[in-house]
Amino acid sequence: MSTQTPSIEIEDYKHGFSDPDRSVFKTRKGLDEDVVRAISDLKGEPEWMKTFRLRALKTFYKKSMPNWGADLSNVNFDDIYYYAKPEGEQQRNWDDVPDDIKKTFDRIGVPEAERKFLAGVGAQYDSEVVYHNIRADLEQQGVIFCDPETAVREHPDLVREYFGTVIPFGDNKLAALNSAVWSGGSFVYVPKGVEVDIPLQAYFRINLESFGQFERTLIIADEGSFVHYIEGCTAPVYATDSLHSAVVEIIAKPGARVRYSTIQNWSGDIYNLVTKRAIAYEDATVEWVDGNIGSKRTMKYPSIYLMGEGAHGEVLSIAFSGKGQEQDTGGKVVHLADNTTSVITSKSISKGGGIASYRGLVKVEKGVRNVKSRVVCDALILDDQSQSNTYPYMEIDSDDVSVEHEARVSQISEDQLFYLMSRGMSEEEASAMIVNGFLDPLVKQLPMEYAVELNRLIELEMEGSVG
């Protein structure tokens, strides 16, 4: 607050920035079998993956859009480019990255982060991974961290064993879409007993107008391992709609722990529809930390299937919905094994006409014993144009459970505002501080640079919200 990275002006940051179009090759607008074949050929994929894509495409045509949640009626699948390949082969050194791409990542602070905190960075640019670097000792431990295209080529056995097992393409229309046209993302495999002590990160960025992002991430944490994966994105502002329909699959084998953090800050016109699901086996833990700001329509319900005894699942969700935005987010946990526990914590803020909705499910299957689950949803509505909705579902089919749910909706307390103002803070600053305080218990679960970025984003959003 009193110090700022000199290269980022508040103005610039808020309105985004864009580089001249770097794409060399794009498939034509719209989607059909030829486009899917072209994508597969461009990537040099083996036949089995091409077949997978084509079968997924058939399923995509058959299914209808989900009819609950945010309003998706403006998505026109024919008006989107499904693939673009920028110039330059996959890089391994920061110095070799083309200049304006470097500048982009300079501005959002990758070099510093890379030096201090990261094990490796995959930078996505128009759906191809341009730059990738893995720390030597991770490679030595047998950790695989690459893009999914490389994984298909170099680790086909692993891919065939796990790809599409957590989210089959028949699961829903958007999963089918992604399965057909996926491009980029991350593939992570952590061998038994290995604890990756530094978070793995990847950045995404949409640069091209009317372009959809379909990255696919698969994380396999073998027995007793630990990994923290961070996904964060930023994108420039465009007039037409952009579609982001990603799929993230996580498999946490017995005793493993996976934490997946996201700060999503797409520009205002993006449709952000993500399917994220994890399977946790015996004594495994999966934690989704999900922050959503920006994007016209978001539907994200990270879910965890607790399939092994003693497994634990946690979803921490932060949503900020401003003018013209609809955040429909939450989490799902399904208890399929004994002695499992889950926690869902959701904090949302709506202002300036935004709509923030929590939608969540806690399901306990028949005969499952000794289950504990707790869901807490807190919502702040900042003005009388905004809306907050809470739709929790508890479906309990066992008598040996303790399931609790609590939700609270309120506004910024006048007394708190008065208190902070009596210490010299303007109403705007006091409001921003209270809002940041509201989110703090969740924000402090994020790595430091994300926490800072999120706090800064909140302050930007709060500007002009008063008076």
Partner 1 sequence: MRLEIQDLRASVDGTPILDGVTLAINTGETHALMGPNGSGKSTLANVLLGHPDYVVTGGKVLLDGENILDEPTDVRARRGLFLAFQYPVEVSGITIGKFLKRATELKYTENERVNLSKYVADLRKNMDFLQIDQEFINRYLNEGFSGGEKKRMEILQMLMIEPKFAILDETDSGLDIDALKIVAKGVNELQGDSFGSLIITHYQRILDYIRPQFVHILYRGRIVTSGGSELVEKLELKGYDWIKEQYEMEVQHEHANAVD
Partner 2 sequence: MSGPIQTNVETLRVRAGELFDAMEWPTPSEEEWRRTDLGRFPFDDYQVDDERSASTTILEDWSGRDLFPESEFAAAARFEAGVCVGASGLDSLGESGAILALSNEDVRDLGDELPGPGANAFEKMLETTLGRIDNRVEAWHYRGELHGAVLYVPAGVEIATPVLLDFSEKGQMALTAPHVFVILESGASVQLIVSLTTSESDRLLCNSGIHASVAEGARLELLVIDDLGSETTHFAHRRATVDRDARFTQFEAHLGGSLVKSRSEAELAGAGSEAYLNGVFFGDNGAHLDIRSVQTHLAPHTTSRSLYKGVVAGSARTIYQGLIEIDEEATQADAYLTNNNLVLDDGARSDSIPSLKIRTNEVKCSHGSTTGRIDQAALFYLMSRGFTRDAAQSTIIEGYFEDVAKRGGPLAIASVMGAITRRLAGRAA
Pairing of strands 128-134, 144-146: unpaired
Task: Give yes or no for residue 336 binding partner 2 (CB under 8 A).
Answer: no
Q: Among partner 2, partner 1, none, what does residue 133 contact (CB within 5–8 Å per kind)?
A: none
Nearer Cβ to partner 1 (3/67): 3
Count interface residues toward partner 1 (CB under 8 A).
25
Does the protein bind partner 2 through residue 72 (CB under 8 A)?
Answer: no
Looking at 398, 416, 436, 465, which residue binds partner 2 (CB under 8 A)?
A: 398
Q: Which amino acid is at 229?
A: Y
Q: What is the 3-state secondary structure (H, E, C) of 17-85?
A: CCCCCCEEEECCECCCHHHHHHHHHHCCCCHHHHHHHHHHHHHHHHCCCCCCCCCCCCCCHHHCECCEE
Number of CB atoms found within 10 A of residue 134's CB: 17
Q: Label residue 388 left, alpha or beta by phi (over 0 means left) and psi (-120 to 50 means alpha).
A: beta
Question: Minimum distance between the CB of residue 342 and partner 2, rounded to whole angstroms?
Answer: 13
415's contact among partner 2, partner 1, none, with CB below 5 to 8 A by partner kind, is: partner 1
CA distances to 10, 17, 132, 161, 223 from 194, rounded to whole Å, are 41, 39, 21, 20, 9
Answer with the entry of partner 1, partner 2, none that 422 interacts with (C-beta below 5 to 8 A by kind): partner 1
* C-beta of 133 vs 398, nearer to partner 2: 398
Among 225, 325, 390, 455, binds partner 2 (CB under 8 A): 390
366 binding partner 2? (CB under 8 A): yes
Contact by Cβ (8 Å): 193, 225: yes
Distance between CA 431 and CA 421 in Å, rounded?
A: 9
Q: Tell me how far apart the alpha carbons of residues 278 and 281 are, in angstroms, rounded to a whole number.
A: 10
> Shortest Cβ distance from residue 375 to partner 2 (Å)?
9
Q: Which of 416, 452, 460, 465 touches partner 1 (CB under 8 A)?
A: 416
Beta strands in 267-337 (DSSP E): 270-280, 285-294, 297-300, 303-306, 312-321, 326-335
User: For residue 107, is it left (φ>0), alpha (ψ between -120 and 50) or beta?
Assistant: alpha
Q: Decide: is 463 part of the binding site for partner 1 (CB under 8 A).
A: no
* Partner that binds at residue 401, options partner 1, partner 2, none, CB closer than 5 to 8 Å by kind: partner 2
Q: Does 382 bind partner 2 (CB under 8 A)?
A: yes
Asked if 415 touches partner 1 (CB under 8 A), the answer is: yes
Contact 245/174 with Cβ under 8 angstroms?
yes
Shortest Å distance, C-beta 376 to partner 2: 10
Identified binder of partner 1 from the candidate list 223, 427, 452, 460, rule CB under 8 A: 427
DSSP class per residue in 200-217: EEEEE---STTB-B--EE
**Count of CB atoms situated within 10 Å of the CB of 389:** 14
- How far is it, in rounded angstroms, from Cα 192 to Cα 109? 33
Residue keyed to tokens 């003018």: 323
Q: Between 3 and 68, whose beta carbon lies closer to partner 2?
A: 68
Could you tell me how many residues of this chain bind partner 2 (CB under 8 A)?
36
**Binding status of residue 381 toward partner 2 by CB under 8 A:** yes
Q: How far is the CB of 413 from partner 1 (least distance, A)?
A: 7
Tell me the closest approach of the beta carbon of residue 430 to partner 1, in angstroms: 7
* Partner whose footprint covers residue 80, from partner 1, partner 2, none (CB < 5 to 8 Å by kind): none
Residue 451 as a binder of partner 1 (CB under 8 A): the answer is no
Residue with tokens 């005969």: 367
List the single partner that 404 binds among partner 2, partner 1, none, CB under 5 to 8 Å by kind: partner 2
Find which of partner 1, partner 2, none residue 420 binds, CB within 5 to 8 Å per kind: partner 1
Our finding on whether 9 is near partner 2 (CB under 8 A) is no
- Sign for the CA dihedral angle at 6, 12, 13, 18 comes to negative
Nearer to partner 2, 42 or 466 (CB): 466
Q: Please state whether 164 falls in left (phi above 0), alpha (psi between -120 and 50) or beta.
A: left
> Does 397 help bind partner 2 (rule: CB under 8 A)?
yes
Q: How far is the CB of 384 from partner 1 (least distance, A)?
A: 17
In the complex, least distance from residue 132 CB atom to partner 2, rounded to whole angstroms: 45
Q: Say whether residue 401 binds partner 1 (CB under 8 A).
A: no
Q: Which stretch, 116-124, 259-267, 319-327, 415-423, contacts partner 1 (CB under 8 A)?
A: 415-423
Structure tokens at 70: 């945010």
User: Can residue 119 be called a binding residue for partner 1 (CB under 8 A)?
Assistant: no
Structure tokens at 371: 């289950």
List the interface residues with partner 1, window 215-274 (CB under 8 A): none
User: Alpha carbon 337 to chain centroid distance?
Assistant: 27
Interface residue list for partner 1 (CB under 8 A): 1-2, 413-416, 418-427, 430, 433-434, 436-441
Interface residue list for partner 2 (CB under 8 A): 67-68, 366-367, 379, 381-411
